[in-house]
A and B are shown apart, each in its own frame.
Chain A
Amino acid sequence: MYNFDVEMPTTIAEAVKALGREEAQPMSGGQTLIPTLKARLAAPSVLVSLHGIAEMKGVCNNDAGQLCIGGATTHATVAAEVGTQYPALASLAARIGDPAVRNRGTIGGSVANNDPSACYPAGVLASGATVVTNNREIAADDYFLGMFETALEEGEIVTEVRFPIPEAAHYEKHLQPASRFPLVAVFVAKFADGVRVAVTGASENGVFRWTEAEEALNANFNAEAVAGLKADGSAMISDLHGTGAYRAHLTGVMTKRAVAAITG
């Protein structure tokens, strides 16, 4: 780890100001950032901790009935508190990492990092959620731009994520055996106006919507409808744990299983 200063703001405004300092970087749960710092792969001169910002923590509902989760809310809190409203999202949060990770890691950190194998991006994209920052609101469809790439600008922080609540949803995760991140995971969300299917872990371009599956499910919301569907493996990740073809296959299997879990 290189040396750095730490700022501990208590409001979003203070955090934004602190992030104006040269080579400043926000830190939320630190579950991704601290290992990166330890390996000397990042060298911020100031770490701005989001941990003490009360207005970025917790779960509530807005007037539109959306589920609003503060950017600095831990996975453990989401797992514990959204279960009645949005069980699929609670279940997603409950299966991230281990208890230590869930007690520190946050939704804002996960969404900002946009790891191609992270869980939240699938939940956010499939839900058609809105990523709220200190100065704007970004629709999920416009937010995830590729592997570790998002629409966030320098110094911009994710303060909240707003989820419309689907009629039914399910998150199906096939584990990468070492990291236990998703090797491929699929979030299926069924809304009155259509089905959204988001896939994480699979693509070289990060989380994506599997539109063919959405079309098939809009026509017939049944596991059978996607059973024969093949995802395109050409731009999928190939590594030690599976080829692109395997990931493409798993995309189909996870989607089918997610739908089956919903239809029961």
Chain B
Amino acid sequence: MPKDHGIGASSKRREDIRFLTGEGNYTDDINVNGQAYVYFLRSDVAHGTLNGVDTSAADGMPGVVRIFTGADFEAVGSIPCGWQVTDKHGEVMQEPRHPVLAHGKVRHVGEPIAAVVAETLEQARDAAEAIVLDISELPAVINMKDAVKAGAPKVHDDLTSNLCYDWGFVEENKGAVDQAFKDAAHVTTLELVNNRLVANPMEPRVAVGDYSRGTGDHTLFTTSQNPHVIRLLMGAFVLGIPEHKLRVVAPDVGGGFGTKIFHYQEEAFVTFAAKACNRAVKWTSSRSEAFMSDAHGRDHVTKIELALDKDNNFTALRTDTYANMGAYLSTFAPSVPTWLHGTLMAGNYKTPLIYVNVKAVFTNTVPVDAYRGAGRPEATYQLERLVDKAAHELKVDPIKLRRQNFITQFPYATPVAVEYDTGNYVATMDKLEEMADIAGFKKRREASEAKGKLRGFGVNCYIEACGIAPSNLVGQLGARAGLFESCTVRVNATGGLVVMTGSHSHGQGHETSFAQVVADMIGIPEDMVEIVHGDTANTPMGMGTYGSRSLAVGGSAMVRATEKIIAKAKKIASHLLEASEGDVELKDGAFTVAGTDKSVAWGDVTLAAYVPHNYPLEEIEPGLEETAFYDPSNFTYPSGAYACEVELDPETGQVTIERFSAADDFGNIVNPMIVTGQVHGGLAQGIGQALLENCAYDSDGQLLSASYMDYAMPRASDLPFYDVDHSCQTPCTHNPLGVKGCGEAGAIGSPPAVVNAVLDAMRSGGSKVDHVDMPVSPHRVWEAMQG
């Protein structure tokens, strides 16, 4: 029987009532009395010397409050980068200044140059059109390999080159890896591109800055996945505002996918301008602005090689990746192609020797940072495409080759610095084979061929590291932040609970699933538990939501805080029951004394805490409120196996996905329905990357895919009915809930399955092609099939 409440129940998402009825409170719904609007005048050239910004004609235009340019921000700090990578020579990365408004130079199309604050948005736009920019255009660097050539134009004149860092991992293994390649019976090599993506959350970014002259308090309302992080980064590094004078509120947020982790110029601008203008300032991104100012994702160019012995055992892996940073370092950009990517290169396999080289490169493009999966999709894609290619070259079954090389003993220390605590890759592959009905494939292929179509089957495995992360470990790796999580549980006098979490929910359903956990621990109905998040004024300092960390890290903090509550409540109960504390048990919302019929209800205990007439005041304080901070001891390692079946029209190159099966191991599961939904969403984005999405620049740095006319988002009709299973569960060994995280798996695990399936279909039609880059659009497939 599926559970109907508590941990393991598919409780309906309580937040959906407001989201589906238009009752959500998004940042754009927030309007502060007397607010003005800002319009950013953005660069329409990719690279140029900014000789001057003449605002004289615009200054006096109707409604203009004030016009800001880069000069106004000279004394203001640089938009900070939260991670410092050390390169293979022991040198720290090159880190350019990142101004709020461009000064001296423009470095990508979309970079804000001037900001007009006016009574209305249209007046601000009118005035912006009257600003005269004097820009001497410079040659743009777009292609990463060109950017690192000697003599290439430099994105940042004060840096030695466009190379941010040249990272080797594990540098000490390099010699042994090279030797293993010399000794190999077979080497498979693959060059591929992990296409640049635009995150495209349904809600574009919005920021409202407010300032009170009376108190000196700043407030920023913003579309963020981590308001505390924004408060710290912007307050301490950009504007010099201490935390106690700065409140950051991220209310309902309509999807983030990573792109709302980062601290952006527009947030600093509205906060700064609110004080300078002494009135609230609001910015709402248009979709066009989002394309050229939200941090993009992926954009790796990789050569990867696999060495195998004569029995097809993987003996070594070597990669060489160029990772695009864009024009500036976004908040977590340097960590994505390194610690979130290199450490995952072992995948599900016991390859003993691995060497990963990553060159991070500055180009005249929008900054690139974490996007759903961040680094792990890039790792999975190249590895799983490579293994498939190896299987094809060696004429062995791709599933068999994978199984042969699976890690089967846990814990397992990889040669790339991480230790997988648990997993069962054989079990997920068994499950997948059953779901995918491999036996029936031949018939389905024949049916497709009878219609003049080709049919292909592709499979892949994935492993990811999420629940980031131990603070002491990431500190050694260059993180300039801790990655703990926090929770305050406040029990009210009549027994209801307010759970204030440092995690942030922007679609993941925490308000439902977190409440299930707490309600289950106490044995009370879920609707007695309210989850509060997103406001630095009423939540403890937390690091926010990304890297599938909310339940694994934030949920653990919540469990710890709830345990403290229960411990104290037991003390109160034992007093009320006149029993010894050790004999008191909490079950189904009541405290009982073992071996007696004595009982006191949860609500009586909580009332006693706040009306302490009969209370052990000399032993414990009144009230019932506890806070816990939780810092994990390891990442968590969800894993799985995915299969995709496609039909391909050989005349047009059109690919349609006919079946998709996903067998995931997420450890323990709190709300299966929400987990399924998270997988569905991740699959849509992974399939979107594989088949449709492509953020493209021309050689002058103009964004070619700058709107939905050219940037193809997956639509419902592009996607199949998924077959999703998460019954294979190896609980995480080091967090109290045994959970692993499920938010990114779909996006990580699906692109290689799709591309492997497309190649299988192409080969069945006689094509000799061994790779097509994503998105495998009809045009690319057709062109590849021309030979």
- Which residues of B sit under 8 angstroms from A2, Cβ to Cβ? 122, 126
Which residues in window 7-57 of A have CB below 8 A to B? 39-40
Residue of B nearest to A38 (CB): B286
Known: A39-B288, A40-B125, A240-B696. A177 touches B712 (CB 8 A): yes
A177:B709 contact, CB within 8 angstroms: no
Q: Which of B122, B654, B691, B694 contacts A174 (CB 8 A)?
A: B654
Tell me the nearest residue of chain A to B126, going by C-beta.
A2
Pair A249/B782 contact, Cβ less than 8 Å: yes
Taking a contact as CB atoms under 8 Å apart, the answer to whether A174 and B652 are in contact is yes
Task: Judge whether A179 and B288 touch: CB under 8 Å.
Answer: no
A178-B692 Cα distance, complex, nearest whole Å: 8
* Binary flags per residue of B474-512, CB closer than 8 Å to A gives 1, else 0: 000000000000000000000000000000000000000
Given contacts A40-B125, A241-B779, A253-B652, contact A177 B692 (CB under 8 A): yes
A253 to chain B: which residues have CB within 8 Å?
651-652
Cα(A209)–Cα(B255), bound, Å? 46
Nearest-neighbour CB distance to chain A for B460, whole angstroms, equals 23
B777 close to A (CB within 8 Å) = yes
Question: Within 8 Å CB of B782, what residues of A?
Answer: 246, 249
Is A236 an interface position by the 8 A CB rule?
Answer: no
Question: Is A219 engaged at the interface, CB distance under 8 Å to the other chain?
Answer: no
A107: chain B residues at CB < 8 Å are none
The distance in angstroms between the C-alpha atoms of A243 and B779, with both chains bound, is: 8
Q: Does B783 contact A (CB under 8 A)?
A: yes
How close is B725's CB to chain A, nearest CB, in angstroms? 30
How many angstroms from the CA of A40 to the CA of B711 in the assembled complex?
A: 21
Interface residues of A in 174-191 (CB under 8 A from B): 174, 177-179, 183
Question: Is A235 in contact with chain B by the CB < 8 A criterion?
Answer: no
Q: Which residues of the partner chain B approach A179 to less than 8 Å between Cβ atoms? A: 708-710
Contact for A178 among B654, B705, B779, CB less than 8 A? B705
Cα distance A246–B782 when bound, in Å? 8
B704's partner among A39, A240, A250 (CB-CB below 8 A) is A240
Interface check B778, CB cutoff 8 A: yes
Docked-complex contact B777 and A241, CB < 8 angstroms: yes
Residues of B within 8 A of A249 (CB): 782
Q: For the complex, what is the distance from the CA of A241 to the CA of B780, rounded to whole Å?
A: 9
A240-B694, A249-B782, A250-B652 known; A177+B288 contact, CB < 8 A: no
Residues of A near B694 (CB, < 8 A) are 240
The CA of A242 and the CA of B782, in the complex, are separated in Å by 10
In angstroms, how far is the closest chain A Cβ from the Cβ of B773? 14
Give the number of residue pairs across the A-B interface with Cβ within 8 Å.
Answer: 48
Q: Which residues of B contact A3 (CB under 8 A)?
A: 122
Contact A178 B125 (CB under 8 A): no
Q: Is A80 an interface residue (CB 8 A)?
A: no
Contact count band on B: 20 to 34
CA A40 – CA B121 in complex, angstroms? Answer: 13
Say whether B651 contacts A177, CB under 8 Å: no
With both beta carbons as reference points, the residue of chain A lying nearest to B692 in the complex is identified as A177
Contact with A246, one of B288, B705, B783 (Cβ below 8 angstroms): B783
Instruction: Confirm or deny: A261 has a beta carbon within 8 angstroms of a beta carbon on chain B.
Output: no
B691, B696, B777: which has the most chain A beta carbons within 10 Å? Answer: B777
In whole angstroms, how far apart are the Cα atoms of A174 and B777 in the complex?
12
Chain B 660-718 residues near chain A, CB threshold 8 A:
691-692, 694, 696, 704-705, 708-713
CA distance A242 to B288 in the complex (A): 23
A60 at the B interface (CB under 8 A): no
B152 CB, nearest partner CB in chain A, Å: 25
Q: Shortest CB–CB separation between residue B692 and chain A, in angstroms?
A: 5
Residue of A nearest to B715 (CB): A180
Per a CB cutoff under 8 Å, which of B125, B126, B696, B778 touches A177?
A: B778
A243-B779, A250-B652, A253-B651 in contact; A178/B122 too (CB < 8 A)?
no
Tell whether, in the assembled complex, residue A178 and residue B652 are in contact, meaning their CB atoms are under 8 Å apart: no
Name A257's closest neighbour in chain B (CB-CB). Answer: B651
- Inter-subunit contact A178/B704 (CB<8 Å): no
Note all chain B residues with C-beta closer than 8 A to A239.
704, 710
Q: Which residues of B contact A40 (CB under 8 A)?
A: 125, 129
How many angstroms from the CA of A253 to the CA of B782 in the assembled complex? 12
B691, B704, B713, B783: which has the most chain A beta carbons within 10 Å? B783
Contacts of B288 in A (CB 8 A): 39
Chain A 174-215 interface mask (CB, 8 Å, partner B; 1/0): 100111000100000000000000000000000000000000
Contacting A240 at CB < 8 Å: which of B125, B129, B652, B705?
Answer: B705
A39 and B289 alpha carbons, distance in the complex (Å) = 11
Contacts A240-B710, A246-B783 given; does A177 touch B777 at CB 8 Å: yes
B779 touches A242 (CB 8 A): yes
How near does chain B come to A239, taking the closest CB pair, in angstroms? 8
A249→B781 CA distance, assembly (Å): 13
Q: B211 → chain A, closest Cβ, in Å?
A: 30
Chain B 97-123 interface residues, beta-carbon cutoff 8 Å to A:
122
- Residues from chain A with Cβ under 8 Å of B708 in the complex: 178-179
B651 touches A246 (CB 8 A): no
| Contact bitstring B503-545, A, C-beta under 8 A = 1, else 0 | 0000000000000000000000000000000000000000000
**Contact code string B541-578 (vs A, CB < 8 Å = 1, else 0):** 00000000000000000000000000000000000000
Interface string of B759-787 (1 = CB under 8 A from A): 00000000000000000011100110000
Q: State in angstroms the CA–CA spacing of A246 and B191 once bound together.
A: 24
Tell which of A39, A178, A243 touches B712, judged by Cβ atoms closer than 8 Å.
A178
Looking across the interface, which residue of chain B has its beta carbon closest to that of A256?
B651
How far apart sit A250 and B125, CA to CA, in the bound complex (Å)?
43
Bound CA span A40–B651, Å: 40
Nearest residue (CB) in B for A184 is: B652
A178 engages B783 (CB within 8 Å): no
Contacts of B779 in A (CB 8 A): 241-243, 246
Inter-chain contacts of B654 with A (CB < 8 A): 174
Residues of B within 8 A of A250 (CB): 652
> Which residue of chain A has its CB nearest to the CB of B122?
A1
| Complex interface: chain B residues within 8 A of A183 (CB) | 778
Shortest Cβ distance from residue A251 to the other chain B in the assembled complex, whole angstroms: 12
**Chain A residues closer than 8 Å to B652, beta-carbon distance:** 174, 250, 253
A239 to B654, CA, bound (A): 17
How would residues 68 to 85 of chain A score, 1 for a CB under 8 Å from any chain B CB and 0 otherwise?
000000000000000000
Complex: A40 Cα to B692 Cα, angstroms: 29
User: Which of A3, A242, A243 has the most chain B CB within a 10 Å cutoff?
Assistant: A242
The docked-state distance in angstroms from the alpha carbon of A246 to that of B653 is: 10
* Nearest neighbor of B653 in chain A, beta-carbon distance: A246
Residue of B nearest to A179 (CB): B709
In whole angstroms, what is the CA distance A97 to B126 when docked?
32
Contacting residues of chain A (157-179) with chain B, CB-CB under 8 angstroms:
174, 177-179
Given A240-B704, A243-B779, A246-B782, do A178 and B651 touch, yes or no (CB 8 Å)? Answer: no
A241 proximity list for chain B (CB < 8 A) = 710, 777, 779
Asked if A178 contacts B709 (CB within 8 A), the reply is yes
Nearest residue (CB) in A for B777 is: A177
Which residues of the partner chain A approach B711 to less than 8 Å between Cβ atoms?
178
Contacts of A240 in B (CB 8 A): 694, 696, 704-705, 710
Bound Cα distance from A245 to B692, whole angstroms: 20
Enumerate chain A residues within 8 angstroms of B126, measured Cβ to Cβ.
2
Beyond A174-B778, A183-B778, 8 extra complex contacts between A and B, CB < 8 Å: A3-B122, A178-B708, A178-B710, A179-B709, A179-B710, A240-B696, A240-B705, A242-B779
Q: Which residues of A contact B (CB under 8 A)?
A: 1-3, 39-40, 174, 177-179, 183, 239-243, 246, 249-250, 253
20 contacts between A and B (CB under 8 A): A2-B122, A2-B126, A39-B288, A40-B129, A174-B652, A174-B654, A177-B777, A178-B713, A179-B710, A239-B710, A240-B694, A240-B696, A240-B704, A240-B705, A241-B710, A241-B779, A243-B783, A246-B779, A246-B783, A249-B782
Footprint of A on B, CB under 8 Å?
122, 125-126, 129, 288, 651-652, 654, 691-692, 694, 696, 704-705, 708-713, 777-779, 782-783
Going nearest first, the 9 A-B pairs with the smallest beta carbon separation are A178-B712, A177-B712, A242-B779, A179-B709, A253-B651, A178-B710, A246-B779, A240-B704, A177-B692
